[in-house]
Chains A and B, each alone.
Chain A
């Protein structure tokens, strides 16, 4: 009868080992899923270039990230009405959304519409415009379910009500643990005309009622077409 413990223990061990191997480990660091640059571009800089110094004729090394400067070429913005991402077959209505009661970013209740962060930048202008959408609803996939499949170089289009079209190109796809998401990098000042898409990813935490990671797709404006 004692030997009954052998199969039971074996079963437990197999359970432990397979669970450890199978479970989605909540990431503790950002994961770059796709990037147009060879390395992790968490730190963006203007690159190392050699420029002539006016005062000394020796070349100097230049390496820093410039501040956000307001200029003449800041561009005109549109109020987004529709977003189309051909590579993952998304064609969704865009709602203008603001803050939640706690000061977070509000998103549509709908799982087929996406939300543009209206207090922030209008698409087309210099700055970080942000559009967020659900990855899933209570019972199945939602509008941004396939967002993680986007690759750097993929294009997407944002339209206003009149049909003016902005084309953005994906630069980088990164998943962040939710409490480490770089809010200033996603929403804050920038010299680029950027559009950042956000959805949930990673493990769903039932007790907290939310996903443990956020997926960020960084895109920049590459074309404008008038209606």
Chain B
């Protein structure tokens, strides 16, 4: 009877092996955050999140790619590069990020008035459309319009340190300019190509005398899942068959040995 129980438990073991495996890792509770150094006179910086270095040596105009952070509150500390431990952070702030959202955290204004500005980013454009927004991060510069050269403004009256809402445009190549609200060109952006299904952020940075634009691509056309690229016709997973054959062979060998012993 004991042996019968043992065999039953072996059957249970075998069944157990066919139970679907569950993948533990989950990206659903993560947020995306990227950093932008937009303070024209601030030194290169190191960024620490919850005490861990995530960005080192980011200079003025540096923008990082998105990094994944667990949703919730995090302590963000920004130090002049290489000074953690010897100097106080230039900025220390608590930021709260939500799962599934994307953010840009920008260090803006002059070094003296340095501040951290966090904005939420869009990760999706309508199919075949381009989505663009403009951020005015030039301390001391007047309000600006962004539009086609010599034509109507697409974004008007953006003031420091404001970021406009996203606008939907047709993809194409545009002769854009950043100009004061009275029409004086500040930055020439002729030949800017915007592609379909992409999201862009144009951040104006620098000083009133030396303004420039960082055009970042926030998102591109992405499917929600991976393509299905197989029907299983050439899958060589015949472990079950091989194992069964080996098992039967062992059983047969066992019988032979058993019989020989009883004959002896």
Contact = CB atoms under 8 A, between A and B. Distances in A.
Interface residues on A, range: 35 or more
B68 to A, nearest CB: 10
Interface residues of B, number: 85
Interface string B58-94: 1100111111000000000000111000000000000
Nearest to A208: B20
B222 A184 contact: yes
A70 B24 CA distance: 37
B53, B127, B250, B262: most-surrounded residue (chain A CB, <10 A) = B250
Interface in B207-244: 214-235, 237, 239-240, 242-244
* Chain B facing A: main interface SS: mixed
B220 A120 contact: yes
A210 to B, nearest CB: 6
A28 to B, nearest CB: 6
A3 to B, nearest CB: 6
B216 A67 contact: yes
Interface in B13-64: 13-14, 17, 20-21, 23-25, 34-36, 43-44, 53-59, 62-64
10 contacts: A14-B246, A19-B14, A19-B17, A19-B239, A51-B57, A64-B56, A67-B34, A105-B223, A120-B222, A136-B231
Interface of B: 3-4, 6-7, 10, 13-14, 17, 20-21, 23-25, 34-36, 43-44, 53-59, 62-67, 80-82, 127-128, 191-193, 195-198, 200, 214-235, 237, 239-240, 242-244, 246-255, 257-258, 262
